[in-house]
Every structure is written in C-alpha cells, then in structure tokens.
Amino acid sequence: MTADRTFPDGFHWGVATASYQVEGAWDEDGKGVSIWDTYAHTPGNIRNDDTGDVANDHYHRYREDVALMRSINATAYRFSIAWPRIFPDGAGEPNVKGLDFYSRLVDELLAAGIEPFATLYHWDLPQALQDRYGGWLSRDTAQAFAGYAGFVAERLGDRVGHYFTINEFTSFVEGGYQVIEVPVGGGKAMRLGGAPGLDLPPAELKQVRHHAVLGHGLAVQAIRAGGPAGTKVGFAENMAVAVPVIDTPDHVRAAEAATRAANAGFITVMLEGRYPDEYLAEAGGTTPTFTDDELRTIASPLDFVGINVYKPRCYVEPVDEPPGYREVPINASHPKMQSSWHVLDPEVMYWAPRHLQSIWGATSIYITENGCSASDVVAEDGRVYDSDRVMFLRAFLGQLQRATSEGVPVDGYFLWSAQDNFEWIEGYGNRFGLIYVDFDTLDRTPKLSAGWFREAARRNAVV
C-alpha cells in the first residue's frame, strides 16, 4: 500500500547545495575573497589541506547539474549565493558578472521545471567584512548583509520567490568564533572548526550570535522591500531537537521545554522576539547587549520556518524540579552514520517539525537539509551501492510522512546533498551526495539512493 504513505499535494521534493561547497571558480569573474577561501588556504585547517578552489566546478557545469536534478524528479533546488560574488568588498559596487551566474542558473532551473530557493548566507562572508569589522562581531556586518540581501531580491525577484536568509547560525557561530569540543556520544567529544577560526570569550560570542539573528531580521525586511509583493522568506537553522525517550505527554512536555532552551539564542528569539530569562541569566544578564527595537527586528514575521535535520541534540526525560527535564546520556553503542557527530535516529525527523508546531505555532515548515555521509565507492561495474543511505532516507522520510499525516504543516524536503561536495573541515572525505563525484575527473555518477529519490519524488510517497 502506498496510498497511506503519501505526502500532501504540492509537497516539494528538493535537493540542496551551498556555494563554497560546490561552485569552485573561487577567483573568477570579479569575485571577492571569502573567509572560507582564506581559511581553506591556510595549511592545517582542512583535512588533507583540501580547498574549495575547484570543488565540483558547478560554476561551469551547472547545466549538467540541473539536468541531473531533473533526471531524479527534483522539483526544487536550494542553492546559496556567494555574497563576495555579488559584493566583492562586502558592500558598495555590485559585481554584475557574479550576479549573472545566478541569473543563468535560475533560468536553467526554471526551464527544467525546478523551483529555485536561494540561501543568502551559507558561511562564505566577504573577507573584507572580516577585516573591516571583525565579521559578525559587529552590527555593521548585519547591516551590510541586509543591503546585499535586498539587492539580490530586487535583481532576482522576478524569478526567485523563496529566500532563506542564513544557514545554520549554530554551526558558523559555534564553529567559527570559538574553539570548542562537542559531545558525540559514549563520552567522546569532537572539536568543531571553521572560518574565521577565532576563539572569542563567552560575552563576545553572545554578541556574535545576537548580530547574526539581527542580520537575519534586517535581511527579512530588506528582502520584502526589495523583492516583488508575495516574495517569501524564512531562515534555515540547524534546530537543536530534544527527543522524548518515551512518547507520553510528560516526556513530550519535557522535550518541548528542553528544545526551547537549547535554541534560545537563535530559533527561540527569532520566533518569540525575546531571549529566554535563563539564557540572559547565564552571563549575569550582562550579555548580549541589545535594544527592544532590535528584538522586534529579529522577530520580523516570516512566511515559513526552515530547519536542517540530521540528529537529535539530546534525549530527555521529565523531572519534577525546574527546568522540568533531564538530559539522558547517549550510549556508546548508539548507531551512527559515517560523520562522527551523526547519531542515527530517524524519529528526530518527526519531532523536529512537530515541536516547531507545538512550541511556536509554525504554519509552514521546510526541511531545508537532511541526509548522511557514507563510505561510498565506485564498484567494479561502475555503480555506487549506498544501501545504507537508502535505508536512512526511507526511515527519515517515513517519519516526516508520519508528521504530515498528523497535520504538521511541512511543505517540502531538501536532501543534502545533490552531489558529493566539499564537506568543510572534513574536505572531500565525507560524501553526502545522491550523485557520486570523482574529484579528479569531476565525473558525476548517480548512486543507488538517487534511484530511490527519483521514485519517491515521482510518487510523492515513501517507497
């Protein structure tokens, strides 16, 4: 029976990438240097000293890539725009050739029947803004971001109707502005990393977070002002999801409280317009510094909420004392995917959108990323047999379908990633694609999972 495993009519079947991870052409057509160019060009920062200089060469091969998306029945493509292609200096004079690339890409997508969804910031900040202002430590960067976002919406708005402001506040702030180890289960920890590679004290870190959400809010307003009426906008955050150990009302209440607290500096303030008291109390209430007016900007009304869903942040059980929940340690034997942080639990794909609806009343949700890395190899017959990724997708989309069948308003799903690509500090070692890429020849080979996606998208159902 497939009938009861279908998604709502009009559900978007998308694939996703990000500029620095796929484009290459790092210094072509007037592009400015980004903080990721600088970071990856510094030896020792990236596994194997890989860089995104060439990556998938998507900048030149986008026609082939759009044809591949079409061949797997994708109906939407989430790509990001490299800010330093548009404003090489961060602000000021726009670079027409940079904008032209995205214009050609969008035309190609529309001709293939694929709807473009543009992310405006997927971490490749113009180096000029890092040098001038210290990046997101300064409100000036948030202001410059709004200027760039409004300009893009004005120029592409006739053909691009959906924008995500910022991708994963959590990842680029926590990974780029401090040196930190995060637990990965079984008592083990993993060191995060990323551009600009700073190590700021906690008070400044909170100010960085604040300027990032402020940049989001200012960009929302600028996109509405710059784009045509009906332009839709939201964010794409790596939501921290607390999963209830047992599906009972008291466990679910505990998980909701833990989820709200874990997202305090990002989703919670963007959707509520206030920082939770506990978040402010942490540093004695002294940071971040902000105004009521800024809070109103941060909580500018959105058309949808976008979340990247990979793994649970934690499991919780209820307790009687405040805050009403307790984190349960993740067992050493808990299954993982290839990336060391990737604790495997498909139910996170059910709880993430359900929490968005129950905690914040979200009425339109996109899964802006979901996927996994696997130890893919080309077999002797030339094919790539990623049966584990097929298992992963069937299980996660099964849980998403469960959510939509219960009335959780999810309007689309973007698989990470359309192709294997530059996986940040892991370089080309961790493959997340539906399409295998040989990084010597740049040949593309659809994996087994691409066939699964094609069939699921065709039927609008879990298969």
Query: Could you tell me if 220 and 232 are in contact, meaning their C-beta atoms sit under 8 angstroms apart?
Result: no
CA atoms of 45 and 63, how far apart (whole Å): 32
Q: Which residue from 45, 75, 167, 207 is in contact with ligand PNW, where contact means CB under 6 A?
A: 167
Query: Does 294 help bind ligand PNW (rule: CB under 6 A)?
Result: no
Which of the ranges 93-101, 136-144, 262-270, 306-314 carries the binding residues for ligand PNW, by CB under 6 A?
306-314
Please report where in the chains the tokens 């849980």 appear, as a residue. Answer: 399
- Residue 190 backbone dihedrals phi, psi, to 5 degrees: -135, 140
Question: Which string of x and - marks every residue 341-370 that binds ligand PNW (by CB under 6 A)?
Answer: x---------------------------x-
| Sheet order of strands, 242-244 included | 242-244, 314-318, 325-328
Query: Could you tell me if 45 and 197 are in contact, meaning their C-beta atoms sit under 8 angstroms apart?
Result: yes
CA atoms of 231 and 271, how far apart (whole Å): 19
Query: Does 168 help bind ligand PNW (rule: CB under 6 A)?
Result: yes
Name 445's bridge partners: 436
CA atoms of 209 and 58, how far apart (whole Å): 31
- Residue 133 backbone dihedrals phi, psi, to 5 degrees: -120, -5
CA nearest to 121, candidates 61, 60, 171, 59: 171
Query: Does 237 help bind ligand PNW (rule: CB under 6 A)?
Result: no
Q: Which residue from 6, 171, 221, 338 is in contact with ligand PNW, where contact means CB under 6 A?
A: 171
Which of the ranges 30-38, 131-139, 163-171, 322-330 carries the binding residues for ligand PNW, by CB under 6 A?
163-171
Residue 70 burial (10 A CB sphere; 0-12, 13-18, 19+): middle
Q: Which residue from 308, 399, 401, 460 is in contact with ligand PNW, where contact means CB under 6 A?
A: 308
E strand or H helix that includes residue 404: helix 387-405
369 is known as an active-site residue:
yes
Taking the complex as a whole, the smallest distance from the CB of residue 414 to ligand PNW amounts, in Å, to 11
Query: Does 124 help bind ligand PNW (rule: CB under 6 A)?
Result: no
Question: Which string of x and - marks every residue 16-45 that binds ligand PNW (by CB under 6 A)?
Answer: --x--x------------------------
E strand or H helix that includes residue 353: helix 348-360
CA atoms of 393 and 413, how far apart (whole Å): 11
237 is known as an active-site residue:
no
Taking the complex as a whole, the smallest distance from the CB of residue 238 to ligand PNW amounts, in Å, to 5
Q: Which residue from 145, 279, 432, 453 is in contact with ligand PNW, where contact means CB under 6 A?
A: 432
Q: Which residue from 238, 268, 300, 404 is in contact with ligand PNW, where contact means CB under 6 A?
A: 238
Query: Does 141 help bind ligand PNW (rule: CB under 6 A)?
Result: no
Residues that are catalytic: 168, 369
Q: Applying CB under 6 A, which residues contact ligand PNW?
A: 18, 21, 167-168, 171, 238, 308, 310-311, 341, 369, 416, 423, 432
